[in-house]
Amino acid sequence: MQCIISRTVIDDSRKAKAKVPMEIFVGKMFKMEVWETLLTSMRIGEVSEFWCDAVHTGLYPIVSKGMRLIAQGKDPLEGQRHTCGMGNMFHYNTTGWPELDELMRTPQALIFIMELIQVGDPFSYKRESWIMDKDEKMKEVPSLHLQGNALVRQGHFREAAKKYQEAVVLLRIVLSKEMPGDEDYIAVDRLITPLVLNYCQCMLELEEYYEVLEHTSDLIHKHKDCVKAYYKRAKAHAAVWNEKEAKRDFNMVAHLDITLAPLVHKELRFLADRLKEKYWEEKEKYWNCLEQEEKEGKKEEEEKEDEEGKKEKDGERGVL
């Protein structure tokens, strides 16, 4: 609230629609660093009022905007360009709320009334990716990879896919901060490929073939010689009856690795058998439908003839 006689309330988290207490991870450079200092001085269950000088409250409008968007169920970064929070404020000239715009123009001392509800153990929660630094992310990836492999051996493909996906997300966050072409960038990018391939294998097992097509195509776009990506994409194409595409990818596998030619020959023969089986099934289904239509047509004609014959008889009786 503002430090004036009226004590105008700017924000009240208790009245927010979400009704979820705000969480702060101490030491993670939250925009309002002063809040960390205030909260670490409190006891659990304590409610305190703090007066903060304008030097500590300059970024409050940005924090407030984010909290308000979250309360509305929106992304707090929605509509932002790839700049910092202050950069977006200067670009758009407004936060979207007049009272926050006024605080941006004339920073002032503010009063914060806080209640410390709970203090969590640093090891009692699953660390989210945005909390981790680069080294923590890189250490987490092998663990997720091993967990995924263990789940695959148990036949839990859905859970395994999630582990591989988590690992890929962490690596892509790290990759986004590296310079393309640098040694670190190339090293991290190489770690992503086997994880995506494992994810695609899980999707094949779960018969989510279009998911496989999407991710293997992305891999092939980046790595033209990725044999495993071509093979998995070929399997997915074959599963959804894309004969031409499946044959093309299987042949590419044999072209890139001649030792896999026998496997490719086996897969192509299996595909041909499935296509032939599908052809006869569809043909039989077509003829059954045709016969059914003919039977229904004959039945309608017979009923029509019976009805006409009945009318003729009724007419003869009327004449007599």
Residues of the chain with CATH 3.10.50.40: 13-115
Q: What is the pLDDT of residue 305?
A: 65
Q: Where are the alpha helices (DSSP H) in the chain?
A: 33-39, 54-57, 60-71, 85-92, 98-105, 134-153, 157-176, 183-205, 209-222, 227-239, 243-256, 261-319
Q: Is the pLDDT of residue 116 over 70?
A: yes
Task: Examine the pLDDT at 80 and tell me if it is beyond 60.
Answer: no
Classified as helix, coil or strand, 132 is coil
Listed in sequence order, the residues at least 6 apart from 1 whose beta carbon sits closer than 8 Å to its beta carbon are 7, 8, 9, 10, 110, 111, 113
The per-residue pLDDT for range 182-230, each reduced to its tens digit, is: 898 999 999 999 999 999 999 999 999 999 999 999 999 999 999 999 9
Q: Provide the pLDDT for residue 283.
A: 73
Non-local (6+) Cβ contacts of 30 within 8 A are: 24, 36
In the chain, % of residues over pLDDT 90: 47
pLDDT in tens, 249-275: 999 999 999 999 999 999 999 999 988
What is the reported pLDDT for 134? 85
Give the model confidence (pLDDT) of 119-128 as tens digits: 887 666 666 6
Among 37-46, 129-138, 263-272, the least confident range: 129-138
Which pLDDT score is estimated for 51? 93
Q: Which of 24-28, 245-249, 308-312 has the lowest mean pLDDT?
A: 308-312
Q: What is the mean pLDDT of the chain?
A: 83
Q: Is the pLDDT of residue 79 over 70?
A: no
pLDDT(276) > 70: yes
pLDDT, greater one: 202 or 276:
202
Question: What's residue 320's pLDDT?
Answer: 46
Instruction: Give the residue with greater pLDDT, 23 vs 202.
Output: 202
Among 59-68, 86-95, 294-303, the minimum mean pLDDT is found in: 86-95
Question: What would the two tokens of residue 116 be?
Answer: 């410390």
Distance of CA 22 to the CA centre of its chain: 24
Provide the pLDDT for residue 21: 78
Architecture of the domain delimited by 126-206: Alpha Horseshoe (1.25)
145 pLDDT band (50/70/90 cuts)?
Answer: very high
Give ranges for CATH 1.25.40.10 in the chain: 126-206, 214-275
Half-sphere exposure of 222 (CA within 13 A, CB side): 14
pLDDT, residue 90, reads 47
Residue 319 has pLDDT above 60, yes or no: no
Domain 214-275 matching CATH 3.30.470.20: the answer reads no
What's the confidence (pLDDT) of residue 127?
A: 65
CATH architecture assigned to 13-115: Roll (3.10)
pLDDT at 61 over 70: yes
Query: Is the pLDDT assigned to residue 314 strictly greater than 90?
Result: no
- To the nearest 10°, report the CA torsion of 141, 145, 147, 152: 160
Helix axes 183-205, 227-239, angle to 10 degrees: 30
Give the pLDDT of residue 286: 73
